[in-house]
């Protein structure tokens, strides 16, 4: 195979983002060949925007039956992600799915098991923030032991402001039946993924979620979660779509150092002596270890991650390059999201791994009372929102 022939399934906000750089031939070894959407109006817009030299399909089955398509990028509403991904793998297509991997881990686990049947096919997720050099450097520092033993993590991510008109742009948006969740499932999958990718999975979660707060929606718009790790470290995650100006501050504290990522910068402090060693040997009163602020060479880049993930996906297919965002890892951040929901619904601690059947049961209760909205669906400008 010299080129990977790609179809985009779902030509909404994020689908158009992918179509932009693919149609400009910015991905080496890739060729955009087809668009698919069940909404004929979106296909008309895509034909007008990108030209008529593509195939335009109105059903996934047509895409999967086309032997001239090697891979699909799935950019549909969340519930469809694992369903389409499994169908595509069975049809012999390589799969790159948008985040989240799904709405609930039980279905994503089914997808992961299915993907193992096709080791010759590539299955990846669009966790584009893993390509950001700043987050990659933070992971490198943590894994190299530069901050010592993990003690505390804290992420305040409240710069996701979304107006009521945003929620009214699609009938599926912010409903349990159509989207399956709110800020945790739509805006925060990247942060939840990075949180566990860099710091590891917690062992239990206590979540506080506010549903329909300050917005006319069914799902959560405001969340605070507290987690505990196996070694006794703790973490807090705070997020909302109703706050402006918002904050994006990620702190990782260890026994001999601290990382702070904020305002597109990484700051790193390190103690000359690990706190545990200092505490065991110091005999004074109010002393503390000497701390150095260390300049770490890294550049924040959150703009080019999507195309970098696609390039890595294509390279993996063509040359076997290691995947930076393997599909099988998508279950981890989603499990934290599901645990926060379950904890908020039942007002209790939730241990990880979660009881997947119980979460599914609770989700079904909310789907049963969910109401899809009748609105005029709009394609929005997605610049700087992912």
More confident residue, 376 or 6: 6
pTM of the model: 0.95
**Residue whose C-alpha is closest to residue 73's, from 156, 11, 160:** 11
End of a domain among 274, 293, 326?
A: 326
Q: What DSSP element (H or E) covers 123?
A: strand 123-125
pLDDT digits (tens, 9 = 90+) for 294-311: 999 999 999 999 999 999
Q: Please tell me the total count of domains within the chain.
A: 2
Residues 29 and 159 in one domain: no
What SS3 class is residue 108?
Answer: helix
Q: Which tokens go with 86?
A: 């499994």
Residues 189 and 214 in one domain: yes
Residues 310 and 354 in one domain: no
Question: Would 376 be classed as within a structural domain?
Answer: no
Instruction: Give residue 381's pLDDT.
Output: 54
Residues 67 and 154 in one domain: no
Instruction: Give residue 170's pLDDT.
Output: 86
Parent domain of 99: 4-128+304-326
Return mean pLDDT, the chain: 96
- pLDDT > 70 in the chain, percent: 96
What SS3 class is residue 220?
Answer: strand
Instruction: Give residue 264's pLDDT.
Output: 97
The owner of tokens 């991905």 is 27
What SS3 class is residue 113?
Answer: helix
Asked if 165 and 246 touch (Cβ cutoff 8 Å), the reply is no
Question: Would 294 be classed as within a structural domain?
Answer: yes
Question: Would 374 be classed as within a structural domain?
Answer: no
Cβ partners under 8 Å of residue 283, min gap 6: none
Which whole number is the average pLDDT over 247-265?
98
Residues 136 and 228 in one domain: yes
CA 126 – CA 324 distance, rounded (Å)? 10
What SS3 class is residue 215?
Answer: coil
Residue 221 has pLDDT above 90, yes or no: yes
pLDDT digits (tens, 9 = 90+) for 361-375: 999 999 999 987 676
By DSSP bridging, strand 4-9 and strand 71-74 are parallel
pLDDT digits (tens, 9 = 90+) for 316-329: 999 999 999 999 99
- The CATH number given to whatever domain includes residue 246 is 3.30.360.10
Instruction: Give residue 386's pLDDT.
Output: 44
pLDDT digits (tens, 9 = 90+) for 20-41: 999 999 999 999 999 999 999 9
Instruction: Give residue 372's pLDDT.
Output: 76
Residues 106 and 157 in one domain: no
Question: Would 40 be classed as within a structural domain?
Answer: yes
Question: Would 351 be classed as within a structural domain?
Answer: yes
Residues 147 and 78 in one domain: no
Confidence tier at 237 by pLDDT (50, 70, 90): very high
Residues 41 and 94 in one domain: yes
Instruction: Give residue 59's pLDDT.
Output: 97
Which whole number is the average pLDDT over 238-254?
98
Question: Would 11 be classed as within a structural domain?
Answer: yes
What SS3 class is residue 344?
Answer: helix
Residue 98 has pLDDT above 80, yes or no: yes
Residues 115 and 182 in one domain: no
Residues 123 and 151 in one domain: no
- The CATH number given to whatever domain includes residue 27 is 3.40.50.720
Residues 249 and 207 in one domain: yes
Residues 115 and 220 in one domain: no
Strand partners, 55: 34
Confidence tier at 383 by pLDDT (50, 70, 90): low
Instruction: Give residue 379's pLDDT.
Output: 58
Question: Would 134 be classed as within a structural domain?
Answer: yes
Question: Would 258 be classed as within a structural domain?
Answer: yes
**Residue whose C-alpha is closest to residue 184's, from 216, 157, 153:** 157
């Amino acid at each position: 195979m010299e080129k990977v022939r790609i179809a985009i399934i779902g030509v909404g906000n994020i689908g158009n983002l992918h179509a932009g750089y693919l149609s400009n031939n910015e991905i080496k070894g890739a060729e955009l060949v087809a668009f698919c959407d069940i909404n004929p109006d979106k296909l008309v817009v895509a034909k007008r925007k990108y030209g008529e030299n593509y195939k335009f399909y109105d059903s996934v089955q047509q895409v999967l039956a086309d032997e001239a398509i090697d891979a699909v990028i799935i950019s549909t509403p969340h519930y469809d992600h694992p369903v389409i991904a499994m169908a595509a793998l069975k049809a012999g297509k390589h799969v790159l799915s948008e985040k989240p991997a799904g709405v609930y881990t039980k279905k994503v686990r089914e997808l992961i098991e299915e993907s193992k049947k096709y080791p010759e096919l590539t299955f990846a997720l669009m966790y584009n923030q893993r390509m950001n050099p700043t987050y990659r450097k933070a992971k490198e520092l943590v894994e190299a032991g530069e901050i010592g033993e993990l003690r505390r993590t804290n992420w305040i991510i409240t710069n996701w402001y979304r107006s009521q008109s945003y929620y009214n742009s699609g009938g599926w948006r912010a409903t349990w039946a159509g989207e399956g969740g709110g800020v945790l499932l739509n805006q925060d999958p990247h942060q939840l993924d990075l949180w566990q990718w860099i710091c590891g999975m917690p062992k239990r979660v206590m979540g506080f979620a506010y549903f329909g707060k300050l917005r006319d929606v069914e799902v959560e718009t405001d969340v605070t979660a507290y987690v505990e790790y196996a070694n006794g470290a703790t973490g807090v995650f705070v997020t909302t779509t109703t706050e402006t100006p918002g904050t994006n501050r990620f702190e990782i504290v260890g026994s001999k150092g601290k990382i702070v990522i904020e305002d597109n910068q990484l700051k790193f402090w390190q103690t000359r002596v690990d706190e545990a060693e200092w505490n065991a040997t110091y005999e004074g009163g109010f002393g503390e270890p000497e701390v150095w602020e260390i300049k770490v060479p890294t550049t924040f880049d959150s703009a080019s991650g999507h195309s970098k993930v696609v390039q890595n996906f294509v390279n993996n297919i063509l040359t076997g390059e290691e995947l930076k965002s393997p599909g099988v890892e998508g279950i981890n951040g989603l499990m934290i999201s599901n645990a926060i929901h379950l904890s908020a619904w039942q007002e209790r601690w939730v241990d990880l791994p979660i009881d997947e059947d119980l979460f599914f049961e609770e989700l079904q209760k909310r789907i049963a009372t969910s109401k899809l909205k009748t609105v005029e669906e709009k394609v929005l400008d997605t610049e700087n929102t992912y």
